[in-house]
Structure 1
Amino acid sequence: MSALDSLVQPDRGQAAHAIRAVDKAGLDDWLKTQPPRAKAAAMAQRFAAKPGEMAILPGDGAEEWSVAVGVESAGTLGPWCLAKAAENLPEGSYRLEGQAGGALLGWLLAQHRFDRYRKPEAPAGPRVLVTGDAARIEETVRVAEAVALVRDLVNTPTEDMGPAQLQQAVEQAAAGFGATVAATAGDALADGYPLVHAVGRAAARDRSPRLMELEWGNPAHPRVAVVGKGVCFDTGGLDIKPAAGMRLMKKDMGGAAHALALARLVMGGRLPVRLHLLIPAVENAISGNAIRPGDVLRSRKGPTVEVSNTDAEGRLILADALARAGEEKPALIIDFATLTGAARVALGPDLPATFANDDMLAADLLEAGAAEGDPLWRMPLWAGYDEMLRSEIADIDNAPEGGMAGSVTAALFLQRFVEPGTPWAHLDTFAWRPAPRPGRPKGGEALGLRAAWAMLRKRYAPVSSS
């Protein structure tokens, strides 16, 4: 991942082909400024400045040429406007005319590849972007690396990304920033984290469940808890999923991947916070000791939970993690989870359903998402549906009958385990891109990560390194 930092460089006058971003509104004026041969080349390539379009324009010498790239708005470059160019241009260096805006991110991520399982091939040469917007480079590289981390973790098959391997990823991140990691695993979970234990106990011994906690930062700073659902594979348990529903369940640890990536950004950005990362990691497997529909489990926080559906396991493990986070009296909790199909039905794959018990926190997240091109959509914690969680024999039901308002009732379930008065946001994210787009291949994807990071950066200004 660190190779990404070599793909964008400050402009020091080095040789590079020019890139000019052109939008439809400015196309005619731009054409008037071009020499006849460049104008003729643009017209021959039918360049109409549509987003993603590209035209190669000749220069004075045989090796001199430049590139025109169509964008939505030349005045405000979005994160993906140069991604297609970065995927298709030949190896070499390119100089972006004007300010880069957010376009550096797409340039970097368009060149990231998940090739762990592919036969080695001769690598394509890098496309290096030279920009005068040097102040953006360091931060953009770190964000690109965080997005790439989410993609890589989610894309990795469960055989190589079980609870133990997820713990290794957490420990690797901690080592890079001097953070500490504690893990409670296996039968040791039974007393302190009974819901995590119950969901994961059916897995093989080498895939035992665990609750990981990473801590970093000055204890005197505001405590920020980040929680991520780490279901490394979800069979559905005894309420087994059909084959089609199980096909992508390696991605059910996508919430954990987002949480870990956000933790890396917090530590790398040196935010003045006391970070508390919590990842409950399990494999929802099937065996003789798997939890059964109708079982009643006691949670860490105390309330008992009737398990109406073993395929609603993510909210169970998050409940114990949220309860643990609240014990430390954080100023803020944010959790990520690939929690419900209902959120996808309502909002599709691109928009994480966002729930918050604090209007200011919700507004800050939505504003940050819009600014970063990482949109969120707020959904209601509708108190009128809380009665759907009622159980006849326990304090709460994990999966209400009827299937209505599935993402809302899941969020209401989680809210029961958040300490009252603690600002909390829950992002029900898909963590997957079903069809490729420039800079965003099919597969694991970070959705909501950049919005959450931008919100935290605004709330907690980074500490200067000087």
Structure 2
Amino acid sequence: MPFSFASADAGSLPVHVLSPDDVAPWAAQQGDVTRNWVGASGFNGAIGTALMLPDADGTPQGALIGYGTPSQRRRVRFVLAGAVPNLAPGLYHIASGLPAEDVATEALGWLLSTYGFSRYHDQSPKVPQLVAPDGIDATRTEVLAASEALTRDLINTPASDMGPADLDAAARALADEFDADIRVIIGAELLAQNFPMIHAVGRAAEQEPRLIDMRWGTVGPTLTLVGKGVCFDTGGLNLKPGASMGLMKKDMGGAANVLGLARMIMALALPLRLRVLIPAVENAVSGNSFRPQDILTSRKGLTVEINNTDAEGRLVLADALALADEEMPDLIISMATLTGAARVAVGPDLAPYFTDDDAVAATLGQAGAKMADPVWRLPFWEPYETMIEPGIADLDNAPAGGFGGAITAALFLRRFVEATPRYVHFDIYGWQPQPAPGRTKGGFGQGPRAILDALPNLLNL
């Protein structure tokens, strides 16, 4: 079944992983049939290549996968995942050649290569199954893959089936799966309970705005995840052009990522107290849309001048972050598809993040490299604070000029986290523009595996 390893008891074929320099020495140690077959095929260990090995009567007896050169591998996140679609159907196990430090990553990539978004049309790739390699935590790897699949499914689902109510339902389903507590504040009740900016952004849509609040765990340090759940972003009255609106079903990618991360934490039973906050809205256009030059008062009491209704994500996050900060957890992490400036800075492949804590940054950087989930630190650059202070209100949601847009957005959010000792903000893309090994085109997770691996250090678990 998808995202699961095959039983070791089932008969499986050996896979030998070979770099270009390994092919000739390996072939020289084989029998005549195999040696001649490898020579005749021209297999050279190039990255992403695969070769089935027949016995004398043509029955498959194993396979080779090219591992490429070190410089080639540095350009690919999951090497084996690029080759496994070229294998014959069946079950396989890694027999030799894969460096021990790469086994866990490559096993995860193999599982992720089985993903296909099939809600509307079967796109499941025909990928052979892998027996869990020795020395890895198979259960943990399966959890990582299944949780990533949840994130991808949520992002890939169009807004017609993933509005605020649908995101609410997805969070409730996850809460039910792991016996978490969940409450949701909807519509006018947001005003009654002092979440005015969440309500303002979402009030024009047919589906009412809401704040999803999920809790799990009763012992250990406290972690609060806040995910941007803008299920579709027209830009509001500052309407996006069509080309810019095309991918806005993914504007709830922050929520999808924190739900995927929450699933990892709960499925692995980490000893911590988890809270997940998701402001779920659609930034629609109607007679009661919030307007440019409006001044909104946030939950925290800070006033915000609206200079662009398309800078709505930071508004809904601000109310949610203010609520999170009131509890003073040990760590708050927000995740959002927030700014185009972050994409210009680092492109779609890296997950940029902000923190004031150098030790947190070092831990996240190391974890990202280890988990094939690359992250990159950007600065909370305090000289830019004046850029988000318009004078007519406490804060400006869209400073003029456009310079440092990811930084000014992060500084805006940081104003709503004062009591909590450590705060990390991720400004992710959440979308794979072109297919890559282990990553289909479409939604994908950015940051959750790095965060998960860093949590024991960050929270002293």
Q: What band does the TM-score fall into relative to the shorter chain?
A: over 0.9
Q: CA deviation at 1:17?
A: 1.6
Question: What is the distance in 2 between the residues matched to 1:79 and 1:137?
Answer: 19
Q: Residues 360 and 189 (structure 1 numbering): CA distance in 2 closer, same or farther, change over 3 Å? A: same
- 2:8 aligned residue: 11
Question: What is the distance in 1 between the residues matched to 2:132 and 2:415?
Answer: 49
Q: CA deviation at 1:412?
A: 0.5
SS in 2 for 1:102: helix
**Is the CA contact (8 Å cut-off) linking 1:388 and 1:409 kept in structure 2?**
yes
**Is the CA contact (8 Å cut-off) linking 1:87 and 1:439 kept in structure 2?**
no
Q: Does 1:381 align with 2:380?
A: yes
Q: CA deviation at 1:72?
A: 4.5
- 1:138 aligned residue: 139
Question: What is the distance in 2 between the residues matched to 1:132 and 1:306?
Answer: 56
> What is the TM-score with the length of structure 1 in the denominator?
0.92
**Is the CA contact (8 Å cut-off) linking 1:374 and 1:450 kept in structure 2?**
yes
Question: What is the distance in 2 between the residues matched to 1:172 and 1:92?
Answer: 33
Question: What is the distance in 1 between the residues matched to 2:283 and 2:159?
Answer: 12
- 2:242 aligned residue: 243
Q: Does 1:107 align with 2:110?
A: yes
Matches within 5 A, 1:21-420: 21-72=17-68, 80-98=78-96, 100-118=103-121, 127-133=128-134, 135-191=136-192, 192-204=194-206, 207-218=207-218, 220-420=219-419
Q: Following superposition, which runs of at least 4 residues in structure 1 exceed 4 angstroms of deviation?
A: 76-79, 123-126, 457-462
Q: Which amino acid aligns with 2:120?
A: Y
**Is the CA contact (8 Å cut-off) linking 1:214 and 1:278 kept in structure 2?**
yes
> What is the TM-score with the length of structure 2 in the denominator?
0.93
Q: CA deviation at 1:335?
A: 1.0
SS in 2 for 1:353: strand
Q: Which amino acid aligns with 1:208?
A: E
Number of residues of Structure 1 aligned to a counterpart in Structure 2: 452
What's the % identity of the aligned pairs?
46
After superposing the two structures, state which structure 1 stretch, 93-102 or 138-147, moved more: 93-102
**Is the CA contact (8 Å cut-off) linking 1:27 and 1:49 kept in structure 2?**
yes
Question: What is the distance in 1 between the residues matched to 2:35 and 2:155?
Answer: 45
Q: Which amino acid aligns with 2:417?
A: V
Q: CA deviation at 1:417?
A: 0.5
Q: Where does the alignment leave 5 or more consecutive residues of structure 1 unmatched?
A: none
After superposing the two structures, state which structure 1 stretch, 412-421 or 260-269, moved more: 412-421
Question: What is the distance in 1 between the residues matched to 2:299 and 2:445?
Answer: 30
Q: CA RMSD in A?
A: 2.0
**Is the CA contact (8 Å cut-off) linking 2:314 and 2:338 kept in structure 1?**
yes
Q: CA deviation at 1:441?
A: 1.0
**Cα deviation digits, residues 444-464 of structure 1 (max 9, x gap):** 1111121111112444577xx
Q: CA deviation at 1:9?
A: 2.9
SS in 1 for 2:252: helix
**Is the CA contact (8 Å cut-off) linking 2:116 and 2:125 kept in structure 1?**
no
**Cα deviation digits, residues 333-365 of structure 1 (max 9, x gap):** 111100000010111000111111211111111
Question: What is the distance in 2 between the residues matched to 1:363 and 1:456?
Answer: 13
Matches within 5 A, 1:438-457: 438-457=437-456
Question: What is the distance in 2 between the residues matched to 1:128 and 1:409?
Answer: 46
**Is the CA contact (8 Å cut-off) linking 2:360 and 2:458 kept in structure 1?**
no
Question: What is the distance in 2 between the residues matched to 1:453 and 1:394?
Answer: 38
Q: Residues 374 and 303 (structure 1 numbering): CA distance in 2 closer, same or farther, change over 3 Å? A: same
Q: Residues 390 and 124 (structure 1 numbering): CA distance in 2 closer, same or farther, change over 3 Å? A: closer
Question: What is the distance in 1 between the residues matched to 2:388 and 2:179?
Answer: 42
**Is the CA contact (8 Å cut-off) linking 2:156 and 2:442 kept in structure 1?**
yes
SS in 2 for 1:166: helix
Question: What is the distance in 2 between the residues matched to 1:419 and 1:269?
Answer: 30
Question: What is the distance in 2 between the residues matched to 1:45 and 1:231?
Answer: 51
Q: Residues 242 and 124 (structure 1 numbering): CA distance in 2 closer, same or farther, change over 3 Å? A: closer
Q: Residues 159 and 142 (structure 1 numbering): CA distance in 2 closer, same or farther, change over 3 Å? A: same
Question: What is the distance in 2 between the residues matched to 1:441 and 1:126?
Answer: 13
**Cα deviation digits, residues 77-102 of structure 1 (max 9, x gap):** 98612212332322211121145332
After superposing the two structures, state which structure 1 stretch, 223-232 or 21-30, moved more: 21-30
Q: Which amino acid aligns with 1:146?
A: S
Q: Which amino acid aligns with 1:20?
A: H
Q: Which amino acid aligns with 1:190?
A: L
